[in-house]
Structure 1
Amino acid sequence: WLSTLAAGTPVDRLVQVAKMRWRIERDYQDLKQEFGLGHFEGRGWRGFHHHASLCIAAYGFLVAQRLIQGGSKKNAAIRDTSGLPSDYVPRGSPARAAPRG
């Protein structure tokens, strides 16, 4: 494997990142088969974008429910690690509000 991660990255982390591709492939397959991502027959980008957004939102809801209820091997690793930095502030939150003058 070739990697652009730092030279001191532990082997466990390298393996985790390398295997992430297969999780993404599986999620995409689920989106197409279970949530109808591949069933769009419209003509415009806007319609496809709306369709894909709803499919992804439904999939995200189901993943969240699996994580809350537990017992799912597929998403167990997601629960353990957070990809957000500790100083992350969501867009639109009061902490990032623009000053009004």
Structure 2
Amino acid sequence: RDGGRSLSLAALRGKPVVLYFYPQDDTTSCTHEAIDFSQLKPEFEKAGAVVIGLSPDSVKKHDKFKAKHALTVDLVADEERKVIEAYHLWVEKTMYGR
């Protein structure tokens, strides 16, 4: 995860987890989503929930993305796309990228 630390869902057992997936750091819609989750993080924390963003980008790229936009949510790197594929979220583009 960002900052070179690790994150285990087992360590979060018993807490609600908001795990959101996004394709790439620093793209328009992904940036808006991350900023919105960061702004709403206090509300999630009041409910006892942890917010985690996950993409195939590297930890280094996550760190730059967080610093550039002052993000407060945890970002997890899934460079091998194991989690993304386990949730069946990574598919081949068809119809000219649509």
TM-score, with length taken from structure 2: 0.26
When you count helix as a share of all residues, which structure comes out higher?
1
Which structure carries more relative contact order (alpha carbon 8 Å, separation 6+)? 2
Select the structure of larger CA radius of gyration: 1
